[in-house]
Amino acid sequence: MLSDTTRQKIGALIGKYPQRRSALIPSLQLAQSEAGYLAPDVICEIAEIFDLSPNEVYEVVSFYTMLYRKPVGKYVIQVCTNISCLLCKAEEILAHLEKRLGIKPGETTADGKFTLLEVECLASCDTAPVAQINEDYYENLTVQRIDEILESLK
């Protein structure tokens, strides 16, 4: 369930846009910041606020990789495997992460520290291969660099 505070913030967001629906994605991000992901009941609440069907909101949530439909780890590692990154050995980076963390894309480590995701273009093709960990970009990745990054994440 959304808190009163989040409901008030969503109301304020809606007021900033000429069309109510324009506030949907930032509102989903706000809702996600409360519980770490968007549970089905929260999606229904948001749908009600926006006068949309739950399915319409679910379509948005399932499209954007920054919106999570299940709990995620402390660090969400999104590895781009689109064409530029693929040509620069992104598959090697992803395979290394799978082996090192012992999980496949879409999974979270047992200690809840890392979630691994394979994503489409992160819009930094000139610095491929690229991964995003939470809000930060990591570019020109190598297996050695990804190991250093993992060590730095406490």
| Type of residue at 23 | A
Q: Which two tokens stand for residue 92?
A: 């090697």
Q: Using DSSP, how many helices (H) and how many strands (E) does the chain show?
A: 7, 4
CB of 12 to ligand FES, least distance (A): 33
Question: b/e string for 5-19 if b means 16 or more Cβ within 10 A?
Answer: ebbebbeebbeeeee
Closer residue to ligand FES in complex, CB, 69/89? 89
Residue 132 interacts with ligand FES (CB under 6 A)? no
Residue 65 interacts with ligand FES (CB under 6 A)? no
Using CB under 6 A, pick the residue from 78, 82, 108, 115 that binds ligand FES. 82
Q: Which stretch binds ligand FES (CB under 6 A): 9-17, 30-38, 45-53, 124-132?
A: 124-132
Q: How many CB atoms lie within 10 A of CB 81?
A: 16
Q: Return residues touching ligand FES (CB under 6 A).
A: 80, 82-85, 121-125, 128, 130
